[in-house]
């Protein structure tokens, strides 16, 4: 019967901890809500806020928002420079898109 050495067990444990940590980090970035962000409504005539619609084109086409700039999540990195430096109001189809886009804008603004 083969028994594992202490070194083999330690290496397997470290690999398992690393894998679980990576998976937890990915889930945190995608699904954990961003703190300190208010959820609210604005009027389309308000000019001090940039409205960014991160829904897919087929969703935003069916239900357009007046005065918004439609940039789907997949294209945010490419078209980020087209967004003005005003306060941003994000329109998203679901919690995942909302969390990912808020984290994207926080990272771009803070760097």
Residue 27, both tokens = 């889930």
**Which tens digit of pLDDT belongs to each residue from 17-68?**
999 999 999 998 888 888 888 787 877 667 788 889 999 999 988 998 888 8
Residue 83, both tokens = 């967004």
Where is pLDDT greater, at 49 or 15? 15
Q: Is the pTM of this model over 0.75?
A: no
DSSP letter for each residue of 45-73? T-SSEEEEE-S-HHHHHHS--TTEEE--G
Residue 14, both tokens = 């470290």
Q: What is the mean pLDDT of residues 75-89?
A: 87
Confidence at residue 107, expressed as pLDDT on a 0 to 100 scale: 87
The answer on pLDDT for 110 being more than 60 is no
**85 contact partners, CB below 8 Å, separation of at least 6:** none
């Amino acid at each position: 019967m083969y028994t594992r050495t202490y070194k083999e067990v330690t290496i397997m444990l470290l690999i398992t901890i690393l894998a679980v940590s990576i998976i937890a980090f990915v889930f945190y970035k995608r699904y954990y809500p961003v703190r300190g962000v208010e959820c609210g409504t604005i009027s389309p005539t308000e000019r001090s806020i940039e409205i960014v619609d991160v829904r897919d084109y087929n969703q935003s086409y069916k239900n357009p928002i007046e005065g918004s700039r439609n940039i789907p999540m997949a294209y945010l990195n490419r078209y980020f420079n087209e967004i003005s430096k005003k306060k941003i109001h994000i329109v998203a189809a679901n919690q995942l898109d909302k969390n990912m886009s808020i984290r994207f804008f926080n990272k771009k603004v803070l760097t």
